[in-house]
Structure 1
């Protein structure tokens, strides 16, 4: 059998949990010098509460031992495995998994594992995982699925914004001066990714304007492939995600949309009120519309 594994970089919701068969490799959240496994020892609600109290969480990648334990179960079952992992430019998780897989090449060369770098995170990783899961259900081969997943990872667009610049200041991603000026002017950044880093494409004044800009960006980049699933994610601010969803449906009538919540690991860095939108920017050879 082919098994899908995702890590804490991919967002989940009730629909995703109920529809797909997958395994989860958790990263850890660190609060008050204590370490908690994502979803197993700390919930999103508990994390959001801590953040509202002004606490600044940090994160930690899975240990090589926990990765090996997870993979060993599937190797012994004779399964093939596809892992969708958090972007290697923002987390060491991918490298840790790759190191474990390098050991398997020598000791168990017959064990087939595809490690997919999602090249971002949040709902971009979720989009890749959804197509992997759909292709598994449809009976595609390991090679067909892994090849398509790699292609999808390089043809994704994701844009996000933060509601409170103080989270970027606290995390060392923005200077205190820039954070103060941005807050005073009610300026919100539009953040995207390239091959190496997160970067700010634009700054926009006002919440409604920044959401309009998010939709404009994703509409432009997906203009050749609009009959697909667009995913929206948020950090404890569903009303913000619904504003983006409403604009997206108005601008792209053929689009199907779905709302998720940022997982704990990325929420810890984006901050409360953050919103992201993601979609494929080109039609793939194989695309299964999820229902």
Structure 2
């Protein structure tokens, strides 16, 4: 029996892409005051970004333990082997909840074949890893080989991104209040990446157009045969920025294969509207 690929909504995979590839997605939670939303299901990212522009503050929570327990038990009863491809453990407690649920379910179903992989990835970079897992699962790879290949793919996924307003990162403790204030005054835009599963600042650049150019340059420095790759771009309600970046990548590298998605509620609540993120593989 082929391995079922399970993931969570922080992968920012468009729903139709997940369904087409047989990927099951568990939602993280987003809160506006006492109101609860299921990321990717009852949360409309466009509405959230509009709310953030108006000053509304959204908070997030991991996939609940009982959701994992229920899903794992269902798969165990059907004797379906499962690989849960997880959001970075450095950015969420979702991975740890999945491990706890697995331990509980295995007490009742000791023969259930279930593996959990901490990708150390986020947003659509994470999503591209999940897509690769689904592709390999369809090929019938045994679990051990599947986990090894997906882990290797995740370890080479680059995340290069910028945000339009440092205020949202400041709320999450990613930059200081003073840096956010000064950055806003001087039109300074950060370029960040993911390192060992954490968000890490790379550079500060004045002017949004120059940020896009620098993101493309970093892709040229780090990427491997990017013209042949499926390039991921996720955005915080800013399709104009997406088209600008795509044009740069076509001009510089001849890229034509793109997967574009709007950033979901969980990642977007911390990054904010105007976020733009670029994902590709480095030299493997």
For residue 111 of structure 2, give the secondary structure of its aligned residue in structure 1.
coil
Is the CA contact (8 Å cut-off) linking 1:7 and 1:26 kept in structure 2? yes
C-alpha separation in 2, matches of 1:66 and 1:177: 40
Report the Cα offset of residue 171 of structure 1.
Answer: 3.0
- Match status 1:76 vs 2:74: no
Report the Cα offset of residue 201 of structure 1.
Answer: 0.6
C-alpha separation in 2, matches of 1:127 and 1:104: 28
Are residues 39 and 255 of structure 1, via their aligned partners in 2, closer, same or farther at CA, if it must alter by over 3 Å? closer
The equivalent residue for 1:262 is 263
Does 182-191 or 170-179 show the bigger shift?
170-179
C-alpha separation in 2, matches of 1:17 and 1:101: 23
Give runs of aligned pairs for residues 135-174 of structure 1, distance below 5 A. Answer: 135-174=136-175
For residue 193 of structure 1, give the secondary structure of its aligned residue in structure 2.
strand
Report the Cα offset of residue 233 of structure 1.
Answer: 0.5
Report the Cα offset of residue 269 of structure 1.
Answer: 0.2
- Match status 1:204 vs 2:205: yes
Is the CA contact (8 Å cut-off) linking 2:73 and 2:105 kept in structure 1? no
For residue 9 of structure 1, give the secondary structure of its aligned residue in structure 2.
helix
Are residues 59 and 142 of structure 1, via their aligned partners in 2, closer, same or farther at CA, if it must alter by over 3 Å? same
The equivalent residue for 1:31 is 32
C-alpha separation in 2, matches of 1:195 and 1:5: 22
C-alpha separation in 2, matches of 1:122 and 1:19: 19
C-alpha separation in 1, matches of 2:155 and 2:171: 31
Is the CA contact (8 Å cut-off) linking 1:118 and 1:124 kept in structure 2? no
Are residues 195 and 18 of structure 1, via their aligned partners in 2, closer, same or farther at CA, if it must alter by over 3 Å? closer
The equivalent residue for 2:129 is 128
Gaps of at least 5 residues in structure 1 are: 284-291
The equivalent residue for 2:273 is 272
For residue 91 of structure 2, give the secondary structure of its aligned residue in structure 1.
coil
- Cα shift readout 1:229-259 (whole Å, capped 9, x = no counterpart): 1101101111111111111122221552221
Higher helix share: 2
The size of the alignment, in residue pairs, is 283
For residue 75 of structure 2, give the secondary structure of its aligned residue in structure 1.
helix
- Cα shift readout 1:36-90 (whole Å, capped 9, x = no counterpart): 2223332223322322321110101122111100111111111011111110011
Q: TM-score, normalized by length of structure 2?
A: 0.93
Give runs of aligned pairs for residues 1-291 of structure 1, distance below 5 A. Answer: 1-13=2-14, 16-17=17-18, 19-195=20-196, 197-223=198-224, 226-254=227-255, 256-283=257-284
Gaps of at least 5 residues in structure 2 are: none
C-alpha separation in 1, matches of 2:19 and 2:9: 17
Q: TM-score, normalized by length of structure 1?
A: 0.91
Report the Cα offset of residue 196 of structure 1.
Answer: 5.4
